[in-house]
Chains A and B, each alone.
Chain A
Amino acid sequence: MSKNRKFYIGGFIVSLFLAGVVSFYASSSPDGLEKVAGDIGFIETAKDHTLGDGALADYGVKGIENERASVGVAGVIGVIGTAVVAGVFFKLIARKPEKSKS
């Protein structure tokens, strides 16, 4: 395996592990903005998310009861999804038409 390949596969596996396994242990306290909004009071002005009923809303998979599995699978889907979208997107951007390989 080339050094290059090893690096990217390694980085991808680390990301899968963080989103798929470690995420279960993340703090569930409100984040900075939510906390401030709650303390000061403007949290009341928040509206429900348009896609709040989506299958992956709030980093959980609808239908998976087990919390650890639910957030883990959501994380893995997010990592793979981001890899596909970002991978294709940056590949297209980096392509230099004037120096295209023959």
Chain B
Amino acid sequence: MHIPDGFIDVPTSAAFVGLSAVGIGAALKGARTQLDDKTAPLAGLTAVFIFAVQMLNFPVVAGTSGHLIGAALAAVLVGPWAATLALTVVLLMQAFLFADGGLTALGLSVFNMSIISVWVGYGTFLLIRKILPKNKSSIAIAASIAAAVSVPAAAFGFWVQYVIGATGTFSDSAVFTSMIGVHILIGIGEAIITGLTVTAVLASRSDLVFGWKNNKNKEVLEIKNV
């Protein structure tokens, strides 16, 4: 979902550079409170892993592929603020080094993937985690469902940008149906990769996983309060 230059007009693209800048500014502040010497390397590794897996396009339906976004994965591993920053680093590397994703469209792509996808994914994760038993498999399941939702959420972001500032004159509703439809399918791949990765990290270093630590702390606090 790396938007090339030209799809969306310049004023809309510029507006989303501004919106993304606000989101990144907030993330810089927020990440300071969530990251420490111990978890900062995991945020770096998360960016590296997402870059690598984003190269692995998997087939979805005839003649169409998809790849991981990694927003829900990052939010569960390192928290939503650091996730926004990790995704943004990946998108910048891709746009500037690999000519993947237009430069003037960068604000649009960052907004969809580093902000919408991360926060919708994280919100979904918190909701599902709440209703599941408090164990590690629940964290992986909640992360998978969050991942599945986070991909059409990013597609929805693109659709909004398309409605506001498309340079073409094609039907908004056709774009909506096609974008959401194909990204629900890509979301299944996202859910599988996210579930497997979260399971693997929980098995080796659960002490680093934001979505798990955070959960346990809450329990401890609740017990203390009783």
Contacts and interface: CB of A to CB of B under 8 A. Distances in A.
Contact of A83 (B44, B57, B171): B44
B39 interface: yes
Given A54-B97, A94-B36, A26 B55 contact: yes
Contact of B51 (A15, A44, A45): A15
A23 interface: yes
Interface string A64-87: 000000010011011101110111
Interface string B1-45: 111111100000000000000000000100110011101110111
B93 interface: yes
Contacts, number: 213
B100 A58 contact: yes
Contacts of A3: 205
A54 to B, nearest CB: 5
B139 to A, nearest CB: 17
Classify the interface of chain B: helix, strand, loop or mixed: helix
Interface in A21-71: 22-23, 26-33, 35-37, 39-42, 44-52, 54, 56-59, 71
Contacts of A50: 5, 99, 102-103
B129 interface: no
A12 B45 contact: yes
B204 interface: yes
A28 to B, nearest CB: 7
Nearest to B32: A93
A90 B43 contact: yes
A74 B54 CA distance: 13
B118 interface: no
Contacts of B155: 32-33
B114 to A, nearest CB: 13
A33 B117 CA distance: 15
12 contacts: A15-B49, A18-B56, A26-B65, A27-B59, A40-B171, A74-B98, A75-B52, A78-B51, A79-B52, A82-B90, A85-B89, A90-B82
Given A7-B208, A82-B47, 10 more contacts: A15-B48, A28-B57, A31-B65, A32-B186, A45-B168, A46-B7, A49-B100, A85-B93, A89-B44, A94-B32
